[in-house]
Amino acid sequence: MGDTTGGIGPDSSGPIFVLGSASPARLRVLRSAGVEPVVRVSEVDEDAVLAALPPDTPADVVVAELARAKAESVAALDELAAAAAGGRTVVVIGCDSMLLLGDRLLGKPHTRERALEQWAEMRGGSADLLTGHHLIRLGGKDGPVTATGTSSTRIDFADADDELVSRYVDSGEPLKVAGAFTLDGLGAWLVEGIEGDPSSVIGIGLPLVRRLLTEVGLSVGDFWPH
């Protein structure tokens, strides 16, 4: 299990919102929206999850399955099970984002060459950023309760010139983010517009998370400061 942020105090009785992601962008989105999560990072082998899926799996299901694997990995932690057994309200959220460009799902490019190739195809065009979400509520007499969903946001990319694209790629930012762009960093200069939920483009869709919490019998207001 990866780095952690925040502890689970044994003397507290408040609800626990667990973010199963190392993404600082997802953490910022939640904090700015009034939720202070505990961070527990899974070590799921994403390539193995993808390899196990049938080749004709719909794109929205692919990202949802990746999110499910991450959430289940974190939900299995002993400290969370103990908190739920002690009567605490515990929810775990896993997320995964990929860019649907034409008929291809693209994750993090990792290398400069791949990022440049992708931007040569993206610029001046549009693509759909898909973010899968899987939420698990621990505890209860019937065991864990789950809810899952995928948000889709249309991105219109600027027709940026070679020099600007090259400078953006050389910044390193697009190498480590899904779709090789961000909406909350340098990449925002290269986005002409979006159709959909901005927070899901950053990595966690607040409207969808609100609905998923409702499905498991909770309200996002349960996790706001009191």
- Residue from 3, 47, 96, 159 carrying the catalytic annotation: 96
Other residues' Cβ atoms within 10 Å of the Cβ of residue 179: 27
Q: How far apart are CA 143 and CA 159, in angstroms?
A: 51
Pair 165, 215: CB distance under 8 Å:
no
Other residues' Cβ atoms within 10 Å of the Cβ of residue 52: 11
CA of 187: how far to CAs of 40, 68, 115, 161, 170, in Å? 27, 28, 12, 14, 12
Q: Which of 144, 96, 91, 155 is nearest to 122 (CA)?
A: 155
> Residue holding tokens 């390899």?
51
Q: Which amino acid does the sequence have at 98? A: M
Is residue 96 annotated as part of the catalytic site, yes or no? Answer: yes
Q: How far apart are CA 17 and CA 37, in angstroms?
A: 5
| Active-site annotation, residues | 96
